[in-house]
Amino acid sequence: MFIKATTENEIAPGGMKAFTLNGREIVLCNSGGTFYAVERACGHAAARLERGALTGWVLTCPLHYAQFDIRSGEALSGPAPKAPDSKHPDPADPSLKTRNLRTWPVRLEAGCIYVDLP
């Protein structure tokens, strides 16, 4: 069922905005006027993805820099390794595998963005 999230002028090209729709936390991304919906939590360490960077269709997580394809949710790269002298766990540790993001179909109609959520 398509649910209205917002209007297209609320998210500038290259921008992102988080929403909670039907109890799901999602991020709407505007890649050159085409909108995509992905889950809000990073597939690595659950960071809030709307705080990251969107370059074309590549979304970079703000916490450890894992990257995702917003068109498919595919994890393109895992997190950046820690500095050699860091006292924190290495985010590139294989036990902290980066999973793909869930995505949902998006429809633009009369200037409004709708997301197909079950």
> For the ranges 41-45, 56-60, 78-82, 113-117, which has the lowest average pLDDT?
78-82
pLDDT above 90: residue 41: yes
Residue 29, token pair as written in the block: 């991304």
47-65 residue pLDDT tens: 899 999 999 999 999 988 8
Q: Which domains does the chain have, with CATH numbers?
A: 2-116 (2.102.10.10)
Residue 57 has a pLDDT of 96
Query: Alpha helix (H) ranges present in the chain?
Result: none
Strands 53-55 and 34-39, bridge-based pairing:
unpaired
Residue 26 has a pLDDT of 98
Residues 30 and 27: their CA atoms lie apart, in Å, by: 10
pLDDT above 90: residue 43: no
User: Which residues contact residue 82 at a Cβ distance below 8 angstroms, ignoring those fewer than 6 apart?
Assistant: 88, 89, 90, 91, 92
Residues 28 and 65: their CA atoms lie apart, in Å, by: 19
